[in-house]
A and B are shown apart, each in its own frame.
Chain A
Amino acid sequence: MEILELTATALAEQVRSKQLSAVEVARAYLARIAELDPILHAYITVDADGALEAARAIDARLARGEDVGALAGVPIALKDIFVTRGLRTTCGSRILADWVPPYEGMPSARLRAAGAVVLGKANMDEFAMGSSNENSAFGACRNPWDIERVPGGSSGGSAAAVAARLCLGALGTDTGGSIRQPAALCGAVGIKPTYGRVSRYGVIAFASSLDQVGPLARTTEDAAALLEVIAGHDPLDATSLPQPVGRYREACRRGVRGLRIGVPAEYFAAGLDPEIEGAVRAAIDELVGQGAELVEISLPHTKYAIATYYLLCTAEASSNLARYDGVRFGMRAARPQDLGDLYSRTRHDGFGPEVKRRIILGTFALSAGYYDAYYAKGQRVRTLIRQDFSQAFERCDAIVVPTSPITAFKLGERLDDPLQMYLADIYTISCNLAGLPGLSLPCGFSSQGLPIGLQVLGRPLGEEQVFAVAGAYEQAHDWHRRVPEVRR
């Protein structure tokens, strides 16, 4: 079990110094997957052969004296939204059930170039639409702390795999909380960086003005190490930012003395589980005890964030998902009568209920007669939400709030009521609307033994301050060291 307990940075050091071989590491993780994934279903595709081949190549290069990179031998799960050359990429959808991409996306290419070993493709809500992972066409993923409960979503498989030691780190995507919310519900660390910080080349698009790639890991320092590798400008993504990548690992040890921590009253309102409120307030006290200055702030448009977010993300999704038409890739309906029938029946057969709901909602919000009342209105309110944050950040350096108002809920419990499901995203979506970095890390457990997440938000490109706050809290606690005992 010792291999499975090493952090990514420690493991890479041991592989580089040949105390451990990358093949040994890959075998240890593949054995753990074989044992537990039939229960958890954190993976859609496990690539045992590919992982062992990559691990052997790393060991061979080390034997020749080559430098294999900062993540030498680190076993990784990729959310199945990341395009992988020669390895099936489904995005959790029937419509891509058999798609084997002809190219590799940038985030995974950068991980591989740094020596990471890809174990497989993690489970997710179809096209990243969901907060419970129950919208996967390949079956729900389970929460390792209680298999009757959801892992969160949409990067539920990535978070469950990290928490259950079925990988050492993972990549997810976050459009409205899809990295941070499952990280909170599974007891992992997850960061959504600033919009544009990580290239989205080869990342299947959901809502392009909101989507961002980020890592999930067991510690803030591991998340920082992964982000240092995947962040940075990419000429193949016109929205990627040219600014240099920060020193995230170093920032984790910087401390919070003198940092101003903003706490908005709007994030401690009705609907917040009292146990979560207690844990988050205790975390804020801890940061103040370490020398941070507490600043009360206000984000007055928070209550409009859900409506704004779901108008904009569905409109963008309805446009992005137009490409799944049964012509160039993916499934095609049998015996089409004509081209229109081919399109509309392929999409009827290929998409699940939540994806259909969002396509219809988004197409409605963009359609003639409704555009100004819904889509354009949403873009204006988005400006107000962004202004809330820019005013708040004149008075503070980071904002500390809960990640989710609830802990992991039971499978099926919220499935019949889309609005209830959407409302649970209240604390994560504003960060996407404003393009800010946001990180979730464990800050306690509920009386039922379920993880609680603490969220740290920063200014645009303020990842270093976010890591400083998260790192300072983490070093004073051992929540992140607890390992779930997966029980059937």
Chain B
Amino acid sequence: MKISPEQVQRVGELARLQLSSEETLALAAQLSRLVAHFEQLDELDTSAVEPTSHVLPLACPQRSDVTRPSLARALLLSPAPLHEDGYFVVPKIID
């Protein structure tokens, strides 16, 4: 399958990843080639094959629902680009 620059742009929007026009063109060409390679999987009839959900038979582990001490709020906020009054700060999203 050939992937167009428009498709790359659309996927970039889904991934919240801005791409320059040079990046978009290069990715369209590279992805077309990669996806063509991936299509060799179509040689295999997998209609009766279960998809892998976990490589090893491991039951979903559960722990008891108890509160435990966590890291201090100030410590967790400290690596944020912008924070104020105990909150992360982002641009205004509601007028």
A435 to chain B, nearest CB (A): 3
CA–CA, A383 and B45, complex, Å: 12
Q: Counting CB contacts under 8 A, is B79 at the interface?
A: yes
Tell me how many residues of B have a C-beta within 8 Å of chain A.
52
Given contacts A196-B56, A336-B91, A418-B34, contact A367 B11 (CB under 8 A): yes
Q: Counting CB contacts under 8 A, is A381 at the interface?
A: yes
Given contacts A194-B56, A419-B33, contact A339 B91 (CB under 8 A): yes
CA–CA, A377 and B71, complex, Å: 41
Given contacts A238-B61, A364-B31, A384-B44, contact A379 B93 (CB under 8 A): no
CA–CA, A331 and B80, complex, Å: 9
Q: Determine whether the beta carbon of A307 is less than 8 Å from that of B41.
A: yes
Q: Determine whether the beta carbon of B81 is less than 8 Å from that of A330.
A: yes
Q: Determine whether the beta carbon of A331 is less than 8 Å from that of B93.
A: no
Q: Determine whether the beta carbon of B34 is less than 8 Å from that of A380.
A: no
B28 to chain A, nearest CB (A): 10
A contact face: mostly helix, strand, loop, or mixed: helix
CA–CA, A55 and B49, complex, Å: 54
Number of A-B contacts (CB under 8 A): 159
CB-CB < 8 A to A303: which residues of B?
Answer: 40
A367 to chain B, nearest CB (A): 6
Q: Counting CB contacts under 8 A, is A481 at the interface?
A: no
Q: Determine whether the beta carbon of A311 is less than 8 Å from that of B38.
A: yes
Some 19 contacts from A to B, beta carbons below 8 A apart, are: A102-B79, A209-B55, A238-B61, A241-B58, A330-B81, A339-B93, A341-B91, A344-B12, A347-B15, A348-B18, A356-B19, A357-B31, A364-B3, A364-B35, A377-B41, A377-B46, A384-B46, A386-B55, A418-B30
Q: Counting CB contacts under 8 A, is A304 at the interface?
A: yes
CB-CB < 8 A to A479: which residues of B?
Answer: none
Per the 8 Å Cβ criterion, residues 327-358 of A in contact with B are 327-332, 336-345, 347-348, 351, 353, 356-357
Encode contact with B along A355-393: 1 for CB under 8 Å, 0 otherwise: 011011101100100000010111111111010000000
Given contacts A332-B82, A357-B27, 14 further A-B contacts (CB under 8 A): A102-B78, A195-B55, A196-B58, A303-B40, A304-B40, A307-B37, A311-B38, A332-B81, A347-B18, A348-B17, A357-B30, A360-B12, A361-B31, A361-B34
CA–CA, A386 and B50, complex, Å: 12
Q: Determine whether the beta carbon of A348 is less than 8 Å from that of B38.
A: no
* A-side interface size class: 35 or more
Given contacts A194-B56, A196-B56, A338-B91, contact A382 B51 (CB under 8 A): yes
Given contacts A101-B79, A383-B49, A384-B49, contact A340 B11 (CB under 8 A): no
Encode contact with A along B69-92: 1 for CB under 8 Å, 0 otherwise: 001000110111110000010111
B contact face: mostly helix, strand, loop, or mixed: loop
**Minimum CB distance partner of B8 in chain A:** A360
B73 to chain A, nearest CB (A): 11
A347 to chain B, nearest CB (A): 5
A453 to chain B, nearest CB (A): 24
Q: Counting CB contacts under 8 A, is A308 at the interface?
A: yes
Q: Counting CB contacts under 8 A, is B67 at the interface?
A: no
**Minimum CB distance partner of B24 in chain A:** A360
Q: Determine whether the beta carbon of B17 is less than 8 Å from that of A383.
A: no
Residues in chain A within 8 A of chain B (CB atoms) = 99-103, 194-196, 209, 235, 238-239, 241, 301, 303-304, 306-308, 310-311, 318, 322, 325-332, 336-345, 347-348, 351, 353, 356-357, 359-361, 363-364, 367, 374, 376-384, 386, 418-419, 422, 433-435, 460
Q: Determine whether the beta carbon of A460 is less than 8 Å from that of B79.
A: no
Q: Counting CB contacts under 8 A, is B6 at the interface?
A: no
A340 to chain B, nearest CB (A): 7
Q: Determine whether the beta carbon of B40 is less than 8 Å from that of A307.
A: yes
CB-CB < 8 A to A328: which residues of B?
Answer: 79-80, 88
Q: Determine whether the beta carbon of B55 is less than 8 Å from that of A435.
A: yes
Q: Determine whether the beta carbon of B51 is less than 8 Å from that of A239.
A: no
Q: Determine whether the beta carbon of A195 is less than 8 Å from that of B12.
A: no
Contact among A331, A374, A381, A418 with B44 in the assembled complex (CB-CB below 8 Å) = A381
CB-CB < 8 A to A341: which residues of B?
Answer: 91
CB-CB < 8 A to B50: which residues of A?
Answer: 380, 383
CB-CB < 8 A to B40: which residues of A?
Answer: 303-304, 307
Q: Determine whether the beta carbon of A345 is less than 8 Å from that of B18.
A: yes
Contact among B3, B44, B56 with A435 in the assembled complex (CB-CB below 8 Å) = B56
Q: Determine whether the beta carbon of A195 is less than 8 Å from that of B16.
A: no
Q: Counting CB contacts under 8 A, is B21 at the interface?
A: no
